[in-house]
Amino acid sequence: MNRFKISLKLVALLLIGFSSIATIETDHNKYFEISKNIEIFTNAYKEINTYYVDDLDPGKLMRIGLDAMLEHLDPFTNYISETEIEGFRYITDGKYNGIGAMILKIDDYVTITEPYDDCPAQKAGLKAGDIILAVDGKSAEGKSTDDVRAILKGFPGTEVQLKIRRPGETKDMDITLVRDEVIVPNVPYSGMVSDEVGYVALTTFTRNAGKNVGDAIKKLKADNPKMKGVIFDLRGNGGGLLTEAVNVSNVFIPKGEMVVTTKGKVADWDRSFKTLNKSIDEQVPLVVLIDKGSASASEIVSGVIQDLDRGVLIGQRSYGKGLVQNTRDVGYNSKVKMTTAKYYIPSGRCIQGVSYEDGEPIDIPDSLRTVFKTRSGRTVLDGGGVKPDILVTEHNDIPVIKDILRKHKIFEYATEYTLKHSQIDSVDLFKFEDFDDFVSFLQKKNFKYETKSEKALEKLGKIADKEGFAEVFKMDLKTIQNKIDEEKKNELYENKEAIISLIEKEIASRYYFQKGRIQIGLRNDQEIKEALEIFKDENRYRALLARQ
Active site members: 296, 307, 321
Select from 400, 496, 493, 406 the least CA-distant residue to 451. 400
Task: Report the alpha-carbon distance of residue 114 to residue 101 in Å, rounded.
Answer: 6
Other C-beta atoms closer than 10 Å to the C-beta of 173 total: 14
Select from 252, 291, 292 the least CA-distant residue to 275. 252
Task: Report the alpha-carbon distance of residue 273 to residue 265 in Å, rounded.
Answer: 18
Degrees to nearest 5, angle at CA 519 with 197 and 131: 160
Q: How far apart are the first and last CA of the chain?
A: 59
Q: Indicate the pairing of strand 286-290 with strand 229-233.
A: parallel
What are the residues whose beta carbons fall under 8 Å from the beta carbon of 327, sequence distance 6 or more?
A: 80, 88, 335, 336, 337, 338
For 58, 416, 543, the CA distances from 47, given in Å and listed in that order, are 12, 55, 69
Task: Report the alpha-carbon distance of residue 217 to residue 487 in Å, rounded.
Answer: 46
For 322, 387, 404, 480, 519, the CA distances from 351, given in Å and listed in that order, are 5, 10, 31, 43, 31
Concatenated DSSP letters for 390-445?
Answer: EE---GGGSHHHHHHHHTTHHHHHHHHHHHH-S----TTT-----HHHHHHHHHHT
Task: Report the alpha-carbon distance of residue 147 to residue 128 in Å, rounded.
Answer: 19
Query: 362: which DSSP letter?
Result: P
Query: 174: which DSSP letter?
Result: E
Contact 292, 318 (CB under 8 A): yes
For 86, 165, 264, the CA distances from 153, given in Å and listed in that order, are 7, 21, 35
Amino acid occupying residue 374: T
For the purposes of burial, counting CB atoms within 10 Å of the CB of 439, is it exposed (0-12), middle (13-18) or buried (19 or more)?
middle
What are the residues whose beta carbons fall under 8 Å from the beta carbon of 405, sequence distance 6 or more?
A: 396, 502
Task: Report the alpha-carbon distance of residue 334 to residue 62 in Å, rounded.
Answer: 13
